[in-house]
Structure 1
Amino acid sequence: MTEVVTTDDGISGGRSLRPLSGLLAAMAVSLTGTRVSAIALPWFVLATTGSPTQTGLVAFCEMTPYVLVKAFTGPLVDRAGPRVISWSTDLASATAAGAVPLLHALDLLSLPLLLTLVALIGAARGPGDLAKEVMVPEAADRSGMPLERAAGLAGATERLAATLGPAAGGSVVALFGPLTGLAVNAGCFVLGPVIMLLTLPRGMGQAAENVPSPHGATELGYWKRFGEGFAFLRGEPLLRTITVMVAITNLLDTAFSTVLMPVWARASGHGPAVIGLTSSVGGIAAIAGSVVAAAAAHRMRRRVVFFTGFLLAGAPKFLALACHAPMWAVLVVFAVGGFGSGFLNPVLGAISFERIPRRLLGRVNALGDSLAWAGIPLGGLIAGAAVASFGLVPVLLAGGAAYFLTTNVTGLRPEWREMDRLRERGVPAQRPTADERAPHGDLTA
């Protein structure tokens, strides 16, 4: 890994910020287009078919390939290089997204064809998002920026797209119709590679260097590369514990946003408008948290920041709704929680980039991200069944307790000490592979 030369405030000493700013701009337009599509596509299906079932089926057909394909394309990202994977998958997504309004205008768009196109979009998005993520540490190196700051800016970019994208998508759909929203999505996928072409240095985002294995082989087949990433993740107690923890919190967050929050909004009489209000308050606060994290997180102790962020972002929102708190208090809880959540991704990103060797970054991150997302499809199903069986308040209390235990009591495990120890020792990102280290113990429940 290239040594990062910084001044006292973490800003590069004479290095250009163009590589990182160009990558973040490409991420921003891609993520914003995805958020616009998340409004336009369901509305298009609902408006043309009138079927909530088909609308849900379309969403399922996009997210399932996203998770599955992303899990298995890590070796390809490492082998071909994240830059090639990023622009090629973005162009594939643009083609599939642009085909939807075109085929509809020609009266050729059947439901099976729509589901196929949506599945192609999801299958291409997974590797594309992964490839951009993999390029963050190299962009930080070239810009002379600490990993926490670069990861914080990437997190702020994602939060900004998640906040502004739905608003832009809703406006475009309301003014021009859902097909225009899908065309905007396709345009964003085209714009991303153009930005990367114009801003990134020619040698950035190339394939990871082949490092000889203990047996002397330099070229590994796909499944051996995949197995090498799996073995590395299995041999990293801290990364495995983080993955399990985030998978549980993702499940709980999905249950909260898709079922518990809407049920509370209806039962309390506030109506659907409060869902958008709390989401906006939390999103804006999360952007602020990400910006602060980008500026100051590299000066803080990671473990304290990490668990404080989860303490603010997790259980309080469940308890506020369960206790029938007044609306102003609910908004305060969402604002404080959003601010705390803004600090999480910078810490997680820095740990990942430091502990995983560059040549394994794609395949390990692909596996870790996919495992962390594995509970998302189950969150709404579990929450819906639980509310039907036990009622809203008991499920909110149980969810808050589960969130607290998952994110705080698990912090007593010894591997969490590695969060700060690695940085204190100044260990660079290029660490030995799992085969070159003594194996660690298995993760226990």
Structure 2
Amino acid sequence: MRQLPNRGRPTSPRLPRAFRVFWFGETVSLFGTATTATLLSLLAATQLDAGPGWMGFLAAASWSPWLILGLPAGALVDRWPPRTTMIVSDLIAATAAAAVPVLWLTDMLSLPALVTVAFVIGSCAVVFRAALPRLVTRVVDPEQLGTANSMLYATESASTVVGPGLAGLIAQAVSAAVGMLLDAVSYLVSAACLARTRLAARTPDHAVAVPEESLPRRIRAGVNVVAHDRYLRYFAGLAAVQNFGLTGLLSLQVLFLVDELAAPQAVTGLVLATGGVGGVIGGLLGPHVARRLGTARGPIALQLTSCGCLLVLLAGPGAGVAWMAAGLLLCEFAIVADNVIRTTWRLTYVPDHLQARVSTTIQMLAFAAMPASGLVSGWLGQQLGVRTALAIMLGVYVAGALTMPFGPFRGLRDLPAPPRPERLLEEAAAAAR
């Protein structure tokens, strides 16, 4: 199997200062963003008397931009300088977050305004995440991508553990509306760090010159690259199937803990936090798994490990909740470690001019499964009971995981090296005609 060329560039195990500056800003932003959903929900429920319908609208406003804007955003961002794109996204998100306390202080805050803010911040996240892969390839060497992605995923997982609790403390201390100012500041810190991030005076090894194309043609090219490449197609389909199953778990886990297991609120919080802890561990260990087992065998082993989510079904009242904690820990550890390996591979496999389009296409498929899963898991819970519904949704996830040993990379130790950059470009252009 071909190895990725180094082209004589010396590499250091220490990540360059440019990445460390960016990572600091991203860390602050992630912890700020992790508080946003909770702060907006608290604000809607406590200050504006929102019912279940409005709470649903508020939640949908955060992820719906992936469905609405994902494909065009990917096509556009592939043409824009990644650092500038991310800075503008941060500044718009900061403005939207800062609008909440201003509207609250002037007695103009309303539920439609909160939904609008959530949609704007969610839209900025789509654009920011679309540009992120191309920025990372410009601040670290190819041999350091695994370590860089490990730090990013571990930080994201840590923010999901700390964020909701931090939001509660902020809301209690200064009110949820004023707490949104901290989120606005976190976006400004991210923008400032990006402005100070010095990009390497080079382009990635697999970057090629591409002709000017219309937006619809660029969108079709990105979709067709995923559809026609057997590795990308498999991973995109797997993400959709498994996200469907996992969203069912996320939708029902609190109800399962409270109603079925009679867990106190403190225990509920601790059990749910174990998933985030597993994610932090997975983010840190992902590169080690890849080096020891290979970038193909490692994800297979991790996917099989993630089937430990079935331990959730063994949970019972009292000490039996430990089974659920163990299942969440194993599952999140394996998922995040797998994501580190696959994201690192995709950054070297997909040509630079298609990075955002491929990323947003895969993410859009994964996010599209969420609303359907929420409806299905809720209906199953009503008709068959929460434990049975969880068993079905986790069964969907495990069914996807069990296809890994039979995937297109079976028998390989490592995922394939990138094809000629021109090949994917030619195939995408031909498919878009």
Normalized against structure 1, the TM-score is what?
Answer: 0.86
The equivalent of 2:259 in structure 1 is 266
1:210 shift after superposition: 6.3
1:418 shift after superposition: 6.4
The equivalent of 2:128 in structure 1 is 128
1:99 shift after superposition: 0.7
The equivalent of 1:371 in structure 2 is 365
Structure 2: tracts of 5 or more residues without a match: none
Instruction: Out of 18-27 and 242-251, give the one that drifted further.
Output: 18-27
Match of 2:44, as an amino acid?
A: V
Match of 1:390, as an amino acid?
A: L
Deviations 1:242-269 (CA, angstroms, capped at 9, x unpaired)? 1111112112111111224423432211
1:92 shift after superposition: 0.6
In the alignment, the residues of structure 2 paired with residue 14 and residue 364 of structure 1 have an alpha-carbon distance, to the nearest angstrom, of 29
In the alignment, the residues of structure 2 paired with residue 119 and residue 400 of structure 1 have an alpha-carbon distance, to the nearest angstrom, of 30
Match of 2:85, as an amino acid?
A: I
Q: Structure 2 vs 1, CA of residues 399 and 69 (structure 1 numbering), >3 Å: closer, same or farther?
A: same
Normalized against structure 2, the TM-score is what?
Answer: 0.88
In the alignment, the residues of structure 1 paired with residue 75 and residue 359 of structure 2 have an alpha-carbon distance, to the nearest angstrom, of 10
Deviations 1:250-304 (CA, angstroms, capped at 9, x unpaired)? 1211111122442343221114433321222221222122112245533431233
1:16 shift after superposition: 5.8
Deviations 1:38-90 (CA, angstroms, capped at 9, x unpaired)? 11111001112222322222222222124422332112111112112101011
In the alignment, the residues of structure 2 paired with residue 429 and residue 249 of structure 1 have an alpha-carbon distance, to the nearest angstrom, of 28
Is 1:321 aligned with 2:313?
A: yes
In the alignment, the residues of structure 2 paired with residue 114 and residue 399 of structure 1 have an alpha-carbon distance, to the nearest angstrom, of 31
Please point out which of 391, 395, 404 is paired with 1:397: 391
The equivalent of 2:198 in structure 1 is 200
Q: Is the 8 A contact 1:65 1:119 kept in 2?
A: yes
Q: Is the 8 A contact 1:20 1:139 kept in 2?
A: yes
Is 1:179 aligned with 2:203?
A: no
Q: Is the 8 A contact 1:6 1:13 kept in 2?
A: no
1:419 shift after superposition: 7.3
Secondary structure of the 1:109 match is coil
Deviations 1:1-30 (CA, angstroms, capped at 9, x unpaired)? 9837688xxxx3387611222232232222
The equivalent of 1:215 in structure 2 is none
In the alignment, the residues of structure 2 paired with residue 406 and residue 190 of structure 1 have an alpha-carbon distance, to the nearest angstrom, of 40
The 5 Å alignment of 1:74-89 reads 74-89=74-89
The equivalent of 2:294 in structure 1 is 301
Instruction: Out of 235-244 and 409-418, give the one that drifted further.
Output: 409-418
Match of 1:407, as an amino acid?
A: A
The equivalent of 2:42 in structure 1 is 43
Secondary structure of the 1:432 match is helix
Secondary structure of the 2:421 match is coil
In the alignment, the residues of structure 2 paired with residue 373 and residue 197 of structure 1 have an alpha-carbon distance, to the nearest angstrom, of 30
In the alignment, the residues of structure 2 paired with residue 155 and residue 15 of structure 1 have an alpha-carbon distance, to the nearest angstrom, of 18
The equivalent of 2:276 in structure 1 is 283
The equivalent of 1:443 in structure 2 is none
Secondary structure of the 2:109 match is coil
Instruction: Out of 124-133 and 99-108, give the one that drifted further.
Output: 124-133
The equivalent of 1:431 in structure 2 is 421
Q: Is the 8 A contact 1:152 1:293 kept in 2?
A: yes
Deviations 1:88-143 (CA, angstroms, capped at 9, x unpaired)? 011011111111110121122233333323322222221012222332233222xx
1:155 shift after superposition: 1.2
In the alignment, the residues of structure 2 paired with residue 352 and residue 433 of structure 1 have an alpha-carbon distance, to the nearest angstrom, of 16
In the alignment, the residues of structure 1 paired with residue 207 and residue 395 of structure 2 have an alpha-carbon distance, to the nearest angstrom, of 45
Q: Is the 8 A contact 1:233 1:239 kept in 2?
A: yes
Q: Structure 2 vs 1, CA of residues 278 and 290 (structure 1 numbering), >3 Å: closer, same or farther?
A: same
Instruction: Out of 355-364 and 387-396, give the one that drifted further.
Output: 387-396
In the alignment, the residues of structure 1 paired with residue 202 and residue 118 of structure 2 have an alpha-carbon distance, to the nearest angstrom, of 31
Q: Is the 8 A contact 2:314 2:323 kept in 1?
A: no
Q: Structure 2 vs 1, CA of residues 260 and 429 (structure 1 numbering), >3 Å: closer, same or farther?
A: same
The equivalent of 1:188 in structure 2 is 186
Is 1:31 aligned with 2:30?
A: yes
Structure 1: tracts of 5 or more residues without a match: 213-217, 441-445
Instruction: Out of 293-302 and 176-185, give the one that drifted further.
Output: 293-302
Instruction: Out of 294-303 and 363-372, give the one that drifted further.
Output: 294-303
In the alignment, the residues of structure 1 paired with residue 5 and residue 81 of structure 2 have an alpha-carbon distance, to the nearest angstrom, of 18
Match of 1:161, as an amino acid?
A: S
In the alignment, the residues of structure 2 paired with residue 339 and residue 6 of structure 1 have an alpha-carbon distance, to the nearest angstrom, of 33
Is 1:93 aligned with 2:93?
A: yes
In the alignment, the residues of structure 2 paired with residue 194 and residue 204 of structure 1 have an alpha-carbon distance, to the nearest angstrom, of 22
Q: Is the 8 A contact 1:27 1:132 kept in 2?
A: no
Q: Structure 2 vs 1, CA of residues 162 and 145 (structure 1 numbering), >3 Å: closer, same or farther?
A: farther
Q: Percent same amino acid at aligned positions?
A: 22
The equivalent of 1:343 in structure 2 is 337
1:437 shift after superposition: 5.2
In the alignment, the residues of structure 2 paired with residue 223 and residue 300 of structure 1 have an alpha-carbon distance, to the nearest angstrom, of 41
In the alignment, the residues of structure 1 paired with residue 281 and residue 360 of structure 2 have an alpha-carbon distance, to the nearest angstrom, of 28
Match of 1:401, as an amino acid?
A: G
Q: Is the 8 A contact 1:152 1:345 kept in 2?
A: no
Please point out which of 143, 151, 154 is paired with 1:153: 151
1:407 shift after superposition: 0.9
1:209 shift after superposition: 6.5
The RMSD of aligned alpha carbons is 3.0
In the alignment, the residues of structure 1 paired with residue 209 and residue 177 of structure 2 have an alpha-carbon distance, to the nearest angstrom, of 47
1:433 shift after superposition: 4.0
Please point out which of 3, 6, 17 is paired with 1:3: 6
1:241 shift after superposition: 1.1
